Homo-oligomer: A and B are copies of this chain.
Amino acid sequence: MTRLTHLDADGAAQMVDVSAKAVTMREAIAKGRISMSPEAAAAIRDGLVKKGDVLAVARVAGIMGAKKTSDLIPLCHPLPLSSVSIDLDLDATGVNATATARTTGQTGVEMEALTAVSIALLTVYDMAKAIDKAMEIGAVRLMSKTGGKSGDYRA
């Protein structure tokens, strides 16, 4: 049976040892969506028309969240991120988020991309929750992963 790499032979949690892994350029892309009422989406759009702060705040939160990944996910390795970018696309009933993370290091950046998406969408929730408490965050998943020994992945 497949064993979880984050558990040792006794089942105790551990940070996987990456010291023997090659230092290569690695990239991961993740996506997610927050669904909301048309009224909430319109309020965000209205904010954009003025000064554009709404999605800008969510984008900054996602980028800063990506940098905190190893502080949030217990067994994640600290990584020298070489870039993070977040694309937020508002439509009539929600916001789609796409995050791209890159590093030159010994382990992948999937968790950084997924964390960026999650924190950006939670930030949208926070800013629109006075209008719509029933918003839902979903479809948070890895789209692709390149670099590293285990080979590339595409969803």
Contacts and interface: CB of A to CB of B under 8 A. Distances in A.
B80 A127 contact: no
Interface in A24-77: 25, 32, 39-40, 42-44, 46-47, 49-54, 56-57, 59-61, 63-65, 67-68, 70-77
Contact of A60 (B17, B51, B61, B134): B61
A155 B126 contact: no
A77 B77 CA distance: 16
In the assembly, how many copies of this chain are there? 6
Contact of A51 (B17, B56, B138): B56
A45 to B, nearest CB: 10
B51 A53 contact: no
A109 to B, nearest CB: 11
The 6 nearest A-B residue pairs measured at CB: A11-B50, A52-B52, A11-B51, A138-B138, A17-B83, A56-B56
